[in-house]
Structure 1
């Protein structure tokens, strides 16, 4: 069941990424995901002005933490046991596999090479190749999923 849940979460994440890209308007909603070089070029284009906003990293982390705390808790209900170690390790596996899938498949293999994420006024592929933001997001999510596995693992043990 754990592997099925992992596959479902990874597939849903990939589908969401596809549907949230493809037009300049959709891509501008993901402005913070773009490399610094692309962001500075985006800010210089008058047509894009006021169509994106820079998000507070703390608020983004907090929102993602709460979202995945709820999602992994719900998925954890179906695989829970009375043992904290099992619940913790299962949720840690689920979260970190999703995190690794996001970095490797979505960010490094798909995102950097698909034309869906490119802006019509910035078609140069080189602007989108820098993986640093994706790697730092992976590190933040690594910490986040460890904390979530601890909290949800404990809650599922009590439940």
Structure 2
């Protein structure tokens, strides 16, 4: 069971890393994650007409709902491989996978990679790494992720027990 959870966790983290890598690298790709950038970077981007017209922001409730649906489905599929007879086992397995992914996102992707790579920088700001160093938005996203994956674990704990 533990080996399966570790394998699932490694697969999820690898997939998440790949999506992050593929979703960055140009202004057109980076603008999709506009809300994750510091206020200073957002100000610069909004002041540039060639970029500001491409900003598409969703509200926090819409983002949370979309992530809830996505990760409920994804972790449900993974949970089928480690399904337990009782709610507690299903809840804990899903919670562990979700929080491991959340922690990986915060520590590896946000703090180690995102803040230091030129891949996420908008053109014209490549030589200003300090604009990308503020971890506050990433920390708040991590806290929202804790709540998100708790909700996903509750939902999947019941779903996996009932099927």
Q: TM-score, normalised by structure 2?
A: 0.95
Alpha-carbon distance between aligned partners in 2 of 1:113 and 1:2, rounded to the nearest angstrom: 30
Aligned residue number for residue 153 of structure 1: 157
**5+ residue gaps in structure 1?**
none
Aligned residue number for residue 135 of structure 1: 139
Aligned residue number for residue 11 of structure 2: 8
Aligned residue number for residue 20 of structure 2: 17
**Greater alpha carbon shift after TM alignment, 113-122 vs 48-57:** 48-57
Q: Structure 1 residue 121: deviation in Å? A: 1.7
* Superimposed CA distance per residue, residues 46-76 of structure 1 (whole angstroms, 9 cap, x where no aligned partner): 2212111222111011100111011111100
**5+ residue gaps in structure 2?**
none
Alignment partner of 2:89 out of 64, 68, 86? 86
**Greater alpha carbon shift after TM alignment, 115-124 vs 8-17:** 115-124
Matches within 5 A, 1:1-159: 1-123=4-126, 124-159=128-163
When the two chains are superposed, the root-mean-square deviation of aligned CA atoms in Å is 0.8
Alpha-carbon distance between aligned partners in 2 of 1:147 and 1:61, rounded to the nearest angstrom: 11
SS in 2 for 1:93: helix
Q: TM-score, normalised by structure 1?
A: 0.98
Would you say how many aligned residue pairs link Structure 1 and Structure 2? 159
After TM superposition, which residue ranges in structure 1, 4 or more long, deviate above 4 angstroms?
none
SS in 1 for 2:84: coil
